């Protein structure tokens, strides 16, 4: 059963805490992406990775960090430096650069 999974579906944290969102795919895709979506807004790219052990900042990387130690996994850490962390976080993967992306079900993070 191939696909891309994110966990947890809902996450609640206190302000000032770092939190890590999981993203796993078994599609054998090289490229993985993290987006953030705010209510009524479009998707904004946080980080992306085209290959293991390499990743690049997207448009809104400040306050976030990622790692890509395995092809299947691309976790995102939301640090306390992120000023407005409450949002819907979406992970996606693609066979490579320039191909259509497939999304996980997302994680709704609420920071109070």
Partner 1 sequence: RKEVEQDPGPFNVPEGATVAFNCTYSNSASQSFFWYRQDCRKEPKLLMSVYSSGNEDGRFTAQLNRASQYISLLIRDSKLSDSATYLCVVIQTGANNLFFGTGTRLTVIP
Site for partner 1, residues 31 to 50, rule: CB under 8 A: 41-43, 45, 48, 50
CB of 14 to partner 1, least distance (A): 24
Q: What is the DSSP letter of 84?
A: -
Main-chain dihedrals φ then ψ at residue 78, nearest 5 degrees: -95, 115
Instruction: Give dist(CA 55, CA 48) in Å, integer.
Output: 6
Q: Using an 8 Å Cβ cutoff, are 106 and 84 in contact?
A: no
Count the Cβ atoms, other than its own, within 10 Å of residue 38. 12
Residue number with CB closer to partner 1 (60 or 88): 88
CB of 46 to partner 1, least distance (A): 13
- Judged by CB under 8 A, does residue 65 bind partner 1? no
- Judged by CB under 8 A, does residue 101 bind partner 1? yes
Q: Which residues bind partner 1 (CB under 8 A)?
A: 41-43, 45, 48, 50, 56, 88, 90, 97-106, 108
């Amino acid at each position: 059963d191939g696909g891309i999974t994110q966990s947890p579906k809902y996450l609640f944290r206190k302000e000032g805490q770092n939190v890590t969102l999981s993203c796993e795919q078994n599609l054998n895709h090289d490229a993985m992406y993290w987006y953030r979506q705010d209510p009524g807004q479009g998707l904004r790219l946080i980080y992306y990775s085209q290959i293991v052990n390499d990743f690049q900042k997207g448009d809104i990387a400040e306050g976030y960090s990622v790692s890509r130690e395995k092809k299947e996994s691309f976790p995102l850490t939301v640090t306390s430096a992120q000023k407005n962390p409450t949002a819907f976080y979406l992970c996606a993967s693609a066979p490579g650069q320039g191909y259509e992306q497939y999304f996980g079900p997302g994680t709704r993070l609420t920071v109070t």
